[in-house]
Amino acid sequence: MAWLTPGDVEAVYPAADLTQPQLDHIQGLAEGCIGPQEEPIAARLKAVMVDIAFRFWRGLQAASTNVEGYQAERTPEYGYEYPVGGPILSGFGLTDRECEALRKAVGVSGLWVQPVSRGVVETPSAPDWDPEFDVV
Look at 13-22, 50-59, 126-135 and tell me which has the smallest mean pLDDT.
Answer: 126-135
Q: Among candidates 69, 71, 106, 105, which has minimal Cα distance to 88?
A: 69
**Which amino acid, residue 124?**
P
CA–CA separation, 134 vs 129, rounded Å? Answer: 8
* Among candidate residues 56, 61, 64, the one with its CA nearest the CA of residue 24: 56
The tens digit of pLDDT for each residue in 69-117 reads 667 778 888 887 765 544 444 567 888 899 999 999 998 877 766 667 6
For the residues of 28-43, what is the DSSP string, one character each?
HHHHHHH---PSSPPH
Distance CA 124, CA 126 (A): 6
Q: What is the distance between the alpha carbons of residues 88 and 42, in angstroms, rounded to a whole number? A: 32
- Report the C-alpha gap between 61 and 45 in whole angstroms: 24
pTM of the model: 0.67
Average pLDDT over residues 8-27: 94
Provide the 10 A C-beta neighbour count for residue 50: 20
Element (H, E) at 74: strand 72-74
DSSP state of 128: P
Beta carbons within 8 Å of 92's beta carbon, 6+ residues apart: 25, 26, 29, 56, 59
Which pLDDT band holds residue 12 (cuts at 50, 70, 90)?
very high
